[in-house]
Amino acid sequence: MDKRYEILKQCFGYTSFRDGQEELIDAVLSGRDALGIMPTGGGKSLCYQIPALMLDGITLVVSPLISLMKDQVMALKSSGVAAAYINSSLTPAQIELVYRNVELGKYKIIYIAPERLLTTGFLHAVSKVKISMLCVDEAHCISQWGQDFRPSYLRITDFINRLPYRPVVSAFTATATAKVREDIIYRLGLQDAKTVITGFDRPNLRFEVMKPAKKPNTLLELVSARRNKCGIIYCATRKKVEDVCFKLQQAGFAATRYHAGLTDEERRQNQDDFVYDRRSIMVATNAFGMGIDKSNVGFVIHYNMPQSMEAYYQEAGRAGRDGMPADCILLYSASDIRTAKILIENPSEKSMLSPEEQQEVIEHDLARLDQIVDYCQTRRCLRGYILDYFGEVHPDECHNCSNCVKEVSMPAATPAAAPAVAPVSGKNAHLVLACIDNVYQELGRNVSTTLIVRILHQSKDKRIFENSLDHLPHYGALRYLAKEDIYGIMADLREQRLVKYTSDHGIISLTAKGRKELQKKATAARSSANTELPQYADADLLQVLKDLRWQLAQEAGVPAYVVFSNATLQDMAEKAPRDIEEFLQVSGVGQHKAEKYGKVFLQAINDYFN
Ligand code: ADP
């Protein structure tokens, strides 16, 4: 078998590459520099981890945040890969030990903070080994045109120049405009770099802008309606973080906070509480989040407008990394513009720039501020606006943002939130499935979620009459429900993998599983058997698997996703493997994890069915 695919399956448990991954891996393996621009959750890590395991020497990964390194190393170790990190969270003795192991060639991948690259100890340790690749993660940090410029990133080039030979250099980031892209190539001195830019769109994210009269009340309504989900609330200042966190805690929410004014220890503790699901809401400034690999964030609310579209998309993009539907809501008020201007005009970390350069950066930042103000005020499709900003072609409407779908833009008024994976109420869910199927039979194509909701809700939309859809048996079948509830049913159906949204934004169709579900119902009706079908058994099984994961993660002292991601558990619940062979077929289960967890998970699945 092709070695790349062998590693993909054995270490990471996947059978196919995602968009862009193969091209970047091949470039690096052929000795060529590479620049990968992929959205959050797009799978950048594999692009350097797979070559790292195939190249003969070691791979250094420069990364800006301690938390990211720790997470990545934990995840790699749990997949059986020898990896380590070097940053200020280690004691001098621990760093010494890592250096010794580096010299002994014990690691394939080493994550390192940029500040550490030029230290004598590190230079000495790596002088004894071969560095095959240097990988720069969050590469936009090297550009002063990006929103996260870190002067320490400029040391990377000095480090490369000090080596007796030049390793392959690869760089990755999620957000980069053309200008930042050029700057990355220039500052890192990338040579003939293979540049791969995959789409920026994240179809599972729903964008919304609100202009609330009273932000605190609106925020409480929004989080009440999402009680069983994890979320991040970004505020512009430390003071706001304190206020908002306090109010949420008073209202009974498990909220914690993160900003640069807290001690290192408290920041670490609060971040862990959030990552390990002990607290469900993180209230933070933009200091929080870069590199947080928490895949089950169900919403990101911006209590204040951020300073640029790049910052917004990066922060909002921390929602829904597991591919599940997630909300990105921006609460805008005119006073946000004043706060943003003050923050831009009084930068905290740009001291390495000359006064002229500093002024240029400020002017550039103010121009970017205008853009995000425009986003908050636009009536156009919000997703379209974002994609335009990054220069990507898109349909006129996405049918999944507050401007395209006015009906769902209000916060759900019901405080009783649905459980994270809500058991779909059988009858209504089947009506929705049947309606989607009937419309497809009628028109020979699938239509948007909005149109399905309108048919079920007996709307007078002219598209319904033009296509004679008012003659369908389902026209008005759910008119007694609120439209939000029908959207809710659809979200649940999607979560259960019974329907899917195609890349054409908001077009909904049945999955094979959804079709099977419909057929089961029809067969049951024909045989007029009275026995209830075991509906949505996977949702219950999924819960069993999640509980087991939680228990194992607690025992090992790691975040739940290090054991298995949500997507892996979904696939496991669907495939319901019976033996280790079948267990290995589950997406995200590699050799190492199968050996480690196979037995207990198989036992749980077996118990569930018996
Ligand atoms: P990024 O760094 O681009 O934000 P990650 O590298 O953290 O994204 O990947 C996001 C998720 O996607 C991870 O859970 C990862 O295991 C998963 N993933 C990456 N590549 C693949 C693939 N080829 N097939 C299935 N899942 C993948």
How remote is the CA of residue 587 from the centroid of ligand 1, in Å?
A: 11
Closest alpha carbon to 54 in 25, 74, 32: 25
Share of residues in the chain with pLDDT > 70 (%): 91
Which pLDDT does position 419 carry in this prediction? Answer: 35
Residue of 40, 44, 45, 138 to test ligand 1 pocket, by largest number of atoms within 8 Å of CB: 45
Instruction: Look at the block and give the residue holding tokens 């009536």.
Output: 379
Which pLDDT does position 468 carry in this prediction? Answer: 83
Q: Based on the number of CB atoms within 10 Å of its own CB, is 235 exposed (0-12), middle (13-18) or buried (19 or more)?
A: buried
185 and 91 in a single domain? The answer is yes
228 and 288 in a single domain? The answer is yes
Closest alpha carbon to 90 in 113, 107, 72: 113
Task: Give dist(CA 216, CA 433) in Å, integer.
Answer: 38
Q: What is the CATH number of the domain that holds 550?
A: 1.10.150.80
**Which residue has its alpha carbon closest to ligand 1 atom 2?**
44
327 compared with 533, residue with greater pLDDT = 327
Please write the tens of the pLDDT for every residue from 349-373: 655 677 887 888 888 888 889 999 9
Domain assignment present for residue 184? The answer is yes
Q: Is the CB of 347 under 6 A from ligand 1?
A: no
Provide the residue count of the chain: 610
79 and 220 in a single domain? The answer is no
Number of domains present in the structure of the chain: 4
Residue 71 confidence class, pLDDT cut points 50, 70, 90:
confident
**348: pLDDT strictly greater than 70:** no
Q: Is the CB of 289 under 6 A from ligand 1?
A: no
Question: Which region holds residue 431: left if phi is over 0, alpha if psi is between -120 and 50, else beta?
Answer: alpha
221 and 183 in a single domain? The answer is no
The mean pLDDT value for 203-211 works out to 92
Q: Which atom of ligand 1 is nearest to the CA of 45?
A: 6
**536: pLDDT strictly greater than 70:** no
The mean pLDDT value for 539-546 works out to 84
Q: Is the CB of 14 under 6 A from ligand 1?
A: yes
The mean pLDDT value for 448-469 works out to 87
**181: pLDDT strictly greater than 70:** yes
Single out the residue in 497, 529, 561 at which a domain terminates: 529
Which pLDDT does position 425 carry in this prediction? Answer: 52
Residue of 7, 14, 35 to test ligand 1 pocket, by largest number of atoms within 8 Å of CB: 14
Q: Which atom of ligand 1 is nearest to the CA of 587?
A: 25
241 and 371 in a single domain? The answer is yes
Q: Is the CB of 293 under 6 A from ligand 1?
A: yes
Q: Judge if pTM exceeds 0.75.
A: no
* Containing structural domain, residue 573: 539-609
**417: pLDDT strictly greater than 60:** no
Domain assignment present for residue 414? The answer is no
Domain assignment present for residue 121? The answer is yes
Residue 1 confidence class, pLDDT cut points 50, 70, 90:
low
- Weakest mean pLDDT among 300-309, 322-331, 404-413, 593-602: 404-413
- Weakest mean pLDDT among 250-254, 422-426, 572-576, 588-592: 422-426
**Which residue has its alpha carbon closest to ligand 1 atom 17?**
43
Which pLDDT does position 409 carry in this prediction? Answer: 34
492 and 444 in a single domain? The answer is yes
Instruction: Look at the block and give the residue holding tokens 């895949």.
Output: 295
Q: Which atom of ligand 1 is nearest to the CA of 16?
A: 23
- Weakest mean pLDDT among 62-66, 71-75, 532-536: 532-536
Q: Is the CB of 565 under 6 A from ligand 1?
A: yes
How remote is the CA of residue 464 from the centroid of ligand 1, in Å?
A: 40
267 and 342 in a single domain? The answer is yes
How remote is the CA of residue 40 from the centroid of ligand 1, in Å?
A: 9
Looking at 30-154, list the stretches that DSSP marks H as alpha helix, in order from N- to C-terminal side: 44-54, 66-78, 92-103, 120-126
123 and 238 in a single domain? The answer is no
323 and 400 in a single domain? The answer is yes
Q: What dihedral angle (degrees, nearest 10) is formed by the CA atoms of 592, 37, 305, 338?
A: 130
Asked if residue 571 lies in contact with residue 587, where contact means CB atoms within 8 angstroms, the answer is: yes
Single out the residue in 197, 216, 244 at which a domain terminates: 197
Q: Is the CB of 40 under 6 A from ligand 1?
A: yes
Task: Give dist(CA 570, CA 553) in Å, integer.
Answer: 17
Q: Is the CB of 296 under 6 A from ligand 1?
A: no
Domain assignment present for residue 31? The answer is yes
Single out the residue in 474, 503, 529 at which a domain terminates: 529
281 compared with 288, residue with greater pLDDT = 281
243 and 339 in a single domain? The answer is yes
**486: pLDDT strictly greater than 70:** yes
Closest alpha carbon to 90 in 80, 81, 101, 79: 101
Q: Which atom of ligand 1 is nearest to the CA of 565?
A: 14
**290: pLDDT strictly greater than 70:** no
Helices 426-443 & 483-495, crossing angle to 10 degrees? Answer: 90
Give the type of residue at 433: L
Q: Are β-strands 499-501 and 297-302 bridged in parallel, bridged antiparallel, or unpaired?
A: unpaired
The mean pLDDT value for 251-279 works out to 92
All residues at 6 or more sequence positions from 241 whose CB lies less than 8 Å from its CB, including other chains: 235, 257, 258, 259, 283, 284, 285
All residues at 6 or more sequence positions from 363 whose CB lies less than 8 Å from its CB, including other chains: none
Which pLDDT does position 538 carry in this prediction? Answer: 63
Q: Are β-strands 194-197 and 281-284 bridged in parallel, bridged antiparallel, or unpaired?
A: unpaired
Task: Give dist(CA 99, CA 91) in Å, integer.
Answer: 12
509 and 594 in a single domain? The answer is no
The mean pLDDT value for 16-24 works out to 93
Q: What is the CATH number of the domain that holds 117?
A: 3.40.50.300
Q: Is the CB of 17 under 6 A from ligand 1?
A: yes
Closest alpha carbon to 291 in 49, 13, 45: 45
CA 601 to chain centre: 26
Helices 21-29 & 44-54, crossing angle to 10 degrees? Answer: 30
Domain assignment present for residue 412? The answer is no
Domain assignment present for residue 411? The answer is no
Closest alpha carbon to 603 in 574, 572, 561: 572
147 and 184 in a single domain? The answer is yes
**Which residue has its alpha carbon closest to ligand 1 atom 20?**
43
How remote is the CA of residue 42 from the centroid of ligand 1, in Å?
A: 6
Give buried/exposed letters for 172-186 (b at 16+ CB in 10 A, else e).
bbbbbbeebbebbbe
- Weakest mean pLDDT among 321-325, 385-389, 427-431, 443-447: 321-325
Q: What is the CATH number of the domain that holds 432?
A: 1.10.10.10
Which pLDDT does position 349 carry in this prediction? Answer: 60
Task: Give dist(CA 610, CA 605) in Å, integer.
Answer: 9
Asked if residue 83 lies in contact with residue 77, where contact means CB atoms within 8 angstroms, the answer is: yes
**467: pLDDT strictly greater than 90:** no
The mean pLDDT value for 167-195 works out to 91
How remote is the CA of residue 322 from the centroid of ligand 1, in Å?
A: 9
**147: pLDDT strictly greater than 80:** no
Domain assignment present for residue 413? The answer is no
Residue 412 confidence class, pLDDT cut points 50, 70, 90:
very low
**112: pLDDT strictly greater than 80:** yes
How remote is the CA of residue 535 from the centroid of ligand 1, in Å?
A: 31
Give the type of residue at 301: I
**Which residue has its alpha carbon closest to ligand 1 atom 9?**
43
Q: Which atom of ligand 1 is nearest to the CA of 21?
A: 23
Which pLDDT does position 369 carry in this prediction? Answer: 92
Domain assignment present for residue 410? The answer is no
Q: Is the CB of 68 under 6 A from ligand 1?
A: no
Which pLDDT does position 12 carry in this prediction? Answer: 93
